[in-house]
Amino acid sequence: MDRGTRGREQTLRFLAAPTDAGYLGNVSGGRVLEWIDKAGYACAVGWSGRYCVTAYVGNVHFTRPVSIGDLVEATARLVYTGRSSMHILVTICSSFPNGTHAVQTSQCSIVFVAIDESGNPVEVPRWIPVTMLELQRQRQARVRIRMRRRIERGYTAGGADSLTGWTNASADRASPQLRQPPFCTSPGPR
C-alpha cells in the first residue's frame, strides 16, 4: 500500500525564542533535538495515522548555531519504512525572520515505530521512493540499518552491552540484579 505524496514530508516553522537559548546565547542543542523529535513525530503520525514512539535517534550533526529570533524550519522526510518502523531524516534550517540568509544548521536520522493501544508495533503503509533523491536516501537508510545491526551485534556480544554493562530490556526484567551498571556499585560497610 502506498499513500502517494501525502504525509511523506512535514515542515514545522517557528521563531527561535529567548527561552530556547543555551549558556552561550544561541539555541541549545537539547532544544534542537526537541524540534527534531517533534518534526519527526509529525511526519510519522501523518504517514501512519497511528500513535508513534521514538525508537532510535542517531547521526546527529550540529553544523551551525541557531540564533535567537531566527526563523526555523524543521523538515522531516520519510526515507524508509519497514513493517512498523518509519525512518525519517530531519533537517533544521534557519534564516533571518524575513527568510533571507537561510542555512542548514543540523541534520539527524530518527526512527519511529507505530504502536497500537497496548503499545505493540503495528504495520505502517509502505513508503515508495518516487524521485532519484528519494531513492538515494532510501539506499543510505538501508546502509545505516545494516551498520546499526553490526554495531548492535558488537555491543550485545556476551549478553550485555559491552560499553555500559546494561542489559537489554527483557534481560532486565528477568534478572533485576543485572540492572545495576558496574560503575554504580553499592558502597561496602565502613
Ligand X SMILES: CC(C)(COP(=O)(O)OP(=O)(O)OC[C@H]1O[C@@H](n2cnc3c(N)ncnc32)[C@H](O)[C@@H]1OP(=O)(O)O)[C@@H](O)C(=O)NCCC(=O)NCCS
CB atoms within 10 A of CB 109: 22
CB of 148 to ligand X, least distance (A): 6
- Which stretches of the chain bind ligand X, using CB under 6 A? 53-56, 82-85, 111, 113, 115, 119, 121
CB of 131 to ligand X, least distance (A): 23
CB atoms within 10 A of CB 30: 9
Closer to ligand X by CB, 21 or 82: give it. 82
Closer to ligand X by CB, 16 or 113: give it. 113
CB of 76 to ligand X, least distance (A): 15
Closer to ligand X by CB, 48 or 106: give it. 48
| Residue located via cell numbers 543510505 | 140
**Residues 110/37, Cβ–Cβ less than 8 Å:** yes
Closest CA to 89 of 101, 99, 81: 81
Closest CA to 34 of 49, 50, 19: 19
Instruction: Name the β-bridge partners of 72.
Output: 14, 94
CB of 114 to ligand X, least distance (A): 9
**Closest CB to ligand X: residue number:** 82
Q: 19 — alpha (psi -120 to 50), left (phi > 0) or beta?
A: alpha
Closer to ligand X by CB, 119 or 187: give it. 119
CB of 15 to ligand X, least distance (A): 26
Closer to ligand X by CB, 56 or 155: give it. 56
